[in-house]
Structure 1
């Protein structure tokens, strides 16, 4: 039973895009590794940009500079 945990920043990804991501990851595991889609678990965690850091900075601050 594969378990996939995807973490993304919480910045407005639509319900439809999340559904596509779950379907795509499930199909990828089926096609590449022969895993059963019925037992494949995909979890998407959305993290606030204040709680996500890259290179010692919060993503919120990095995006303000862009």
Structure 2
């Protein structure tokens, strides 16, 4: 049973986009690894930008500076 965890910042990812990610990842695992879609688990975690850091800085601050 494949388990895929996708983490994104919580900046307006729509329900439709999440559905497309889940469907697309499931299809990819079926195509490439011949995994059964019925037992494929996909979890999407949305992370506050204050809780995500790149290069020693919070993404919130980087976004304000236009760097990410």
TM range (shorter): over 0.9
TM-score by length of 1: 0.99
Q: Distance in 2 between matches of 1:64 and 1:12?
A: 16
Aligned residues: 66
1:7: how far off? 0.4
Segments ≥4 residues shifted beyond 4 Å:
none
Structure 2 segments unaligned to the other structure (5+ residues) = none
Corresponding residue number in structure 1 for 2:16: 16
3-state DSSP class of the match of 2:44?
A: strand
Structure 1 segments unaligned to the other structure (5+ residues) = none
TM-score by length of 2: 0.96
